[in-house]
Amino acid sequence: MGGARSSEQFVQSPNSTFFTEEELNKLKSEYKTGGLEKITPLLQKKVKELDSTEVNIAVTGESGAGKSTFINAMRELQDGDEGAAKTGTTETTMEPTGFPHPTLPNVCFWDLPGIGTKQFPANKYLREMKFKTYDFFIIISYCRFTENDLKLAKEIKRLGKNFYFVRSKIDGDLDSMKKQRKEFNEEEELEKIRNDCVSKLLEAGIPSPNVFLISSFDLNLYDFNLLNEALEDNLPDIKKSVFILALPNLNEEIVEKKRKELRKRVWMLATLSGVVGAVPVPGISLACDIAILVGGIIHFRKCLGLDDASIQRLANKAEKPVGVLKAVVKTPLVGEVTPDLITRGAWGVAVVTISALEIALDIIPVIGSIFGAGSSFLMTYKILSGALDELTENAQRVVKAAFGTDDHPSDTIPPTDHPS
């Protein structure tokens, strides 16, 4: 078949970041010596790793700093929602409490008790919080970073973990300043607050501190995007991907990031489909292809926030009727995903018209000569790619309807290869 390649012609690309160079080399050598039987378990193991990788985020600071409110905001929940962290002006957390992401439970935010309270004096706190459990720490303060915050930061650094200073409730500070001053420049005031925090942290011996100013009631404002970028940059590839997929859909940029991460999965799912497709057992190829397609589309939909529960949470956050958000969704892929939906109509036409030339080989990290009869690989790759683009375009429209952003999804999302 067209598109067959020798086992020497493996390609590594940005889409292969889930694999280390060592793992890619192993895929090459295993296929060279043992063919499909050898590489199939390696690919299955990697897909399973993607689905099971955990990200544990510790949110700490003194009582009343806004830890629980921040955790709820990151999970698109509001105070009083089912599963929301309990908020209050007094210490409400008596022990480390995990709050899984509502749709991606492998991502868990941990609300740690406030340091320096009677229940948790600083020396006891450092012993009992099991710091090694967490991937990174967010230290939240609503006014100034205290001596206890600095002790925390130094202990976290000693353990080799990353930490980030977040100055919360910044919207309240700015509102107060506006009322007290005749002349007010928001950008200048934000810079003053940031510089003041940084200078005090430097004086206390924290090298090169970064301080992020946020409002948990409006994460689209201030430094929230900068905070996310810092968190992403310091996570290993798989954890970084999992973290990005769990971000709240606050703007179209975040949705686009999710599309790029999900694109990296497409070729792996297509590869598994192609491996099965090369097995000469009547009927097994179609059955497995459909299962992979259905599972992939449902996963994409969930990560992009197009399930009913996610749209409802976004509507609550944006204070918009849920019907307004659902009205802009123009794809049958948000309903029940069945084999019939995938194979009928335009989807069926897409399947029979696929050729190897439709996929640029430089974006497929590992295919070798595996798919000499590669119809299963090409079919699955084509359909999942199209479904991902269609779902992303709809997720962009939902975000725009929720927050009234000015960007146009059509400017950033490639057109789908089939009608909605």
Residue 90, classified by CB atoms within 10 Å of its CB into exposed (0-12), middle (13-18) or buried (19+), is exposed
Is residue 39 located within the same domain as residue 61?
no
Q: Which comes out higher in pLDDT, residue 117 or 359?
A: 117
375 φ/ψ angles, rounded to the nearest 5 degrees? -65, -40
Residue 11: per-residue pLDDT: 35
Residue 420 inside a domain? The answer is: no
| 176 neighbors 98 (Cβ within 8 angstroms) | no
- Asked whether residue 8 is assigned to any structural domain, the reply reads no
Residue 75 lies in a domain: yes
Q: What is the pLDDT of residues 234-276, one digit of tens each?
A: 888 889 999 999 999 988 999 999 999 998 888 778 777 766 6
Tell me if 189 is assigned to some domain. Answer: yes
Domain boundary pick from 212, 245, 278? 245
Contact predicate 212/223, CB 8 Å: yes
Q: Are residues 239 and 206 in the same domain?
A: yes
> CA quadruple 148, 62, 71, 226: dihedral positive or negative?
negative
CA–CA–CA angle 388, 394, 395 (5° rounding): 85
β partners of residue 108 = 56, 100
Q: Which residues contact 83 (CB under 8 A, 6 or more apart)?
A: 75, 77, 99, 102
Q: Which of 94-98, 135-139, 250-254 has the lowest mean pLDDT?
A: 94-98
Q: Is the pLDDT of residue 416 over 50?
A: no
Same domain, 253 and 123: no
Mean pLDDT for the stretch of residues 86-99 = 72
Whether the pLDDT of residue 25 is over 70: the answer is: yes
Q: What is the pLDDT of residues 278-288, one digit of tens each?
A: 555 555 555 56
Domain stop point among 229, 245, 261: 245
The answer on pLDDT for 413 being more than 70 is no
More confident position, 154 or 223: 223
Residue-range definition of the domain harbouring residue 218: 54-245
Same domain, 148 and 278: no
Give phi and psi for 98, each to the nearest 5: -90, 140
Domain match, 183 and 164 both:
yes
* Residue 172: predicted pLDDT: 84
Report how far residue 304's alpha carbon sits from residue 255's, in angstroms, rounded to the nearest whole number. Answer: 7
> Which residues, 6 or more positions from 42, have their beta carbon under 8 angstroms from its beta carbon?
23, 26, 27, 30
Please choose, from the candidates 267, 382, 322, the residue with its C-alpha nearest in 3D space to the C-alpha of residue 275: 267
Of 98, 138, 82, 403, nearest in space to 254 by CA: 403
Question: Quick check: is 9 in a domain?
Answer: no
The 3-state DSSP composition of the chain as helix, strand, coil percent (nearest 5) reads 55, 5, 40
Q: Is residue 302 part of a domain?
A: yes
- Residue 150, pLDDT > 70, answer yes
DSSP-derived 3-state class of residue 110: strand
**Does the pLDDT of residue 5 top 90, yes or no?**
no
> Is pTM, for the whole model, over 0.85?
no
310 band by pLDDT with thresholds 50, 70 and 90: very high
Task: Let me know: does 262 contact 388? Beta carbons within 8 Å.
Answer: yes
Q: Which residues contact 225 (CB under 8 A, 6 or more apart)?
A: 251, 253
CB 70 within 8 A of CB 168: yes
Whether residue 420 is predicted with pLDDT greater than 60 in this model: the reply is: no
Average pLDDT, the chain: 77
What are 387-407's pLDDT values in tens digits?
Answer: 999 999 999 999 999 988 544
Residue 330 lies in a domain: yes
> Based on the domain organization, do 319 and 211 belong to the same domain?
no
User: 297 and 51 in contact (C-beta within 8 Å)?
Assistant: no
Residue 29 has pLDDT above 70, yes or no: yes
Residue 80 sits in the same domain as residue 62: yes
Tell me: pLDDT of 8 over 60.
no
Residues 65 and 127 in one domain: yes
Q: What gap in Å lies between CA 137 and CA 382, rounded to an integer?
A: 40
Please tell me whether residues 205 and 307 are part of one structural domain: no
Which residue would you say has higher pLDDT here, 91 or 144?
144
Cα separation of 149 and 116, whole Å?
A: 9
Domains in the chain: how many in total?
A: 2
Same domain, yes or no, for 206 and 67?
yes
Say which residues have a Cβ less than 8 Å from residue 392's Cβ, sequence separation at least 6. 255, 256, 258, 259, 304, 409, 413
Question: Dmax over Cα atoms in the chain, in whole Å?
Answer: 79
Segment 192-224, tens digit of pLDDT: 888 888 888 888 888 888 899 998 888 888 999
What CATH number does the domain containing 152 carry?
3.40.50.300
Are 214 and 224 in contact, with CB atoms under 8 Å apart? yes
Domain membership of residue 230 (yes or no) is: yes
| Whether residue 234 sits in one domain with residue 253 | no
Instruction: Kindly state the DSSP code that residue 131 receives in the 8-state scheme.
Output: G
Task: Give the position of tokens 């001053």.
Answer: 181
Minimum mean pLDDT among 127-136, 236-245, 305-314: which range? 127-136
Query: Which pLDDT belongs to residue 86?
Result: 82
β-bridge mates for residue 100, sequence order:
108
Of 189, 220, 245, the last residue of a domain is 245
Burial letters 332-362, b for 16+ CB under 10 A, else e: ebbeebeeebbbeeebeebbeebebeebeee
Mean pLDDT score, 354-375: 44
Residues 23 and 107 in one domain: no
Provide long-range contacts, Cβ within 8 A and 24+ apart, for 338-347. 338/294, 339/290, 339/294, 342/290, 342/293, 342/294, 342/297, 342/383, 343/290, 346/418, 346/419, 347/383, 347/418
Q: For residue 229, give the H/E element and its range.
A: helix 224-233
